[in-house]
């Protein structure tokens, strides 16, 4: 009797221990800080032509033709997409670089100036700020998604991707003196590819996933909505009796400007409790296109305004879950450098002014001597000769 009782007690303790281990694992999984997508690190590659090793020359359809460094940062689904679309990897790398360049341009006069890690050992491109679900993170997700859409669409038109080309389909009714024709940029392919590639892995119960999916879609929508119509005249002696028109991609700077405007008016939201989204996603894994559209609609439906008095965000609004950190002082945990040593504009009352950039601290003035080329002349043939001009420049630096 005693022996049986002891065995029951031992079994009960074993079950209790297993339950505690599972509970700890669940808590650690849900409490794990979000990291930036690994594929962003592709922007650190020195030469996009080195992304693919020489194994591709043998028409290998396995993952071995990818450079080992690229293989590690891509998910299984992303590697499959790269395999099925030869030439797209270089376009993705260009997109990641365009995103970095555009982000630095848009925030050059802000407290957060989109600082990036130049070290190849670092696993993060934009630093630990991405672990916070703030509006800066929302902008990064939208910008990188838009950049991949833009460069992949451009590569299709240039014939750099084997699985796509120009879009020769007519778009709507023609006008009185013009008609659709020519080689339009294949925005449908770029949009669909970006959705499959960029959104890979954004599924589960973490409230960050609906936010990331929404902001990824915001980036793609801005590229698509900024498409412009270009036309070419046809007629005798240069007359423009008939015009042929086609759709052309916008300049990426225009997309960056639009997303920056959305950044300033971003909406803080909260995520509704919709149960386990991972199980529903797993049941729909084999229906790719239907699954991505359904996940996109579902993620948008999960978002609600943080303040009930505010209107819900639109499909083109950036959304975030928590306020931005203080970028005034250095924060090692988030990799924030602070504004110490940043240059400011003494005469400006905007965000680049010394009062706001220095966060109320003092600033000191420097007078430096600048050397520039000037008075350049072209001499036959074929040399450009310039003089060196010197002038003094006054700068203001935050203390």
The 3-state DSSP class for residue 47 equals coil
Cα distance between the two ends of the chain: 79
Q: What angle (nearest 5°) sits at the alpha carbon of residue 305, between those of residues 301 and 308?
A: 125
Bridge pairing between strands 242-248 and 178-180: parallel
Question: How confident is the model at residue 367, as a pLDDT?
Answer: 92
Nearest to 321 by CA among 189, 172, 211, 213: 211
**CB atoms inside a 10 Å sphere around CB 74:** 23
Q: What are phi and psi of 53, to 5 degrees?
A: -80, 180
**For residue 225, what pLDDT is reported?**
94
Domain ranges of the chain: 34-338, 339-399
Mean pLDDT by 10 residues, the chain (399 residues): 50 52 42 76 69 42 66 92 92 95 95 81 82 96 97 94 83 62 88 96 86 96 93 73 85 97 94 55 48 55 87 94 93 88 92 93 92 90 90 93
Rg of the chain over Cα atoms, rounded to whole angstroms, equals: 27
Contacts 24+ apart (CB under 8 A), 324-330: 324/112, 324/132, 324/134, 324/135, 324/136, 325/129, 325/132, 325/134, 327/111, 327/112, 328/111, 328/359, 329/359
Q: What is the pLDDT of residue 35?
A: 78
Q: With DSSP H G I counted as helix, E B as strand and the rest as coil, what are the percentages for the chain, rounded to 5? A: 45, 20, 35
- Measured from the Cβ of residue 278, the count of other Cβ atoms closer than 10 Å reads 13
Structure-token pair, residue 34: 């979000």
What's domain 339-399's architecture? 2-Layer Sandwich (3.30)
Distance CA 235, CA 244 (A): 11
Q: Distance between CA 109 and CA 170 in Å, rounded? A: 43
Residue 22, pLDDT score: 46
Helix H or strand E encompassing 192? helix 187-198
């Amino acid at each position: 009797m005693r022996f049986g009782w002891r065995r029951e007690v031992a079994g009960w303790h074993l079950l209790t221990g297993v339950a505690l281990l599972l509970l700890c694992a669940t808590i650690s999984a849900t409490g794990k800080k979000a990291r930036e997508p690994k594929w962003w690190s592709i922007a650190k590659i020195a030469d996009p032509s080195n992304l693919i090793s020489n194994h591709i020359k043998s028409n290998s359809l396995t993952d071995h033709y990818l450079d080992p460094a690229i293989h590690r940062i891509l998910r299984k689904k992303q590697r499959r997409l790269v395999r099925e679309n030869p030439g797209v990897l270089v376009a993705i790398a260009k997109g990641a670089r365009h995103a970095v360049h555009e982000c630095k341009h848009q925030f050059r006069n802000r407290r957060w100036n989109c600082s990036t890690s130049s070290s190849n050992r670092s696993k993060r491109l934009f630093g630990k700020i991405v672990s916070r679900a703030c509006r800066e993170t929302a902008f990064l997700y939208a910008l990188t998604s838009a950049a991949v859409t833009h460069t992949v669409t451009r590569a299709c038109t240039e014939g750099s991707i084997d699985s796509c080309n120009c879009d020769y389909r007519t778009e709507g009714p023609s006008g009185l003196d013009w008609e659709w024709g020519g080689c339009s940029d294949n925005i449908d392919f770029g949009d669909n590819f970006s959705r499959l590639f960029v959104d890979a892995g954004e599924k589960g119960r973490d409230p960050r996933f609906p936010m990331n999916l929404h902001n990824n879609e915001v980036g793609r929508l801005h590229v698509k909505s900024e498409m412009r119509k270009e036309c070419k005249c046809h007629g005798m002696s240069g007359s423009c009796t008939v015009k042929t028109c086609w759709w052309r991609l916008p300049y990426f700077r225009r997309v960056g400007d639009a997303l920056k405007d959305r950044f300033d008016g971003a909406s803080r939201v909260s995520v509704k409790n919709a149960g386990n989204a991972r199980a529903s996603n797993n049941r729909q894994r084999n229906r790719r296109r239907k699954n991505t559209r359904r996940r996109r609609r579902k993620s948008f439906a999960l978002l609600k305004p943080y303040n009930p008095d505010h209107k819900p965000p639109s499909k083109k609004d950036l959304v975030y879950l928590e306020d931005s950190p203080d970028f005034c002082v250095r924060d090692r945990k988030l990799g924030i450098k602070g504004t110490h040593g940043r240059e400011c504009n003494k005469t400006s009352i905007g965000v680049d002014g010394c009062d706001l950039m220095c966060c109320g601290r003092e600033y000191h003035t420097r007078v430096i001597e600048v050397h520039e080329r000037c008075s350049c002349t072209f001499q036959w043939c074929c040399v450009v000769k310039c003089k060196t001009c010197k002038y003094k420049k006054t700068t203001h630096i935050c203390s």
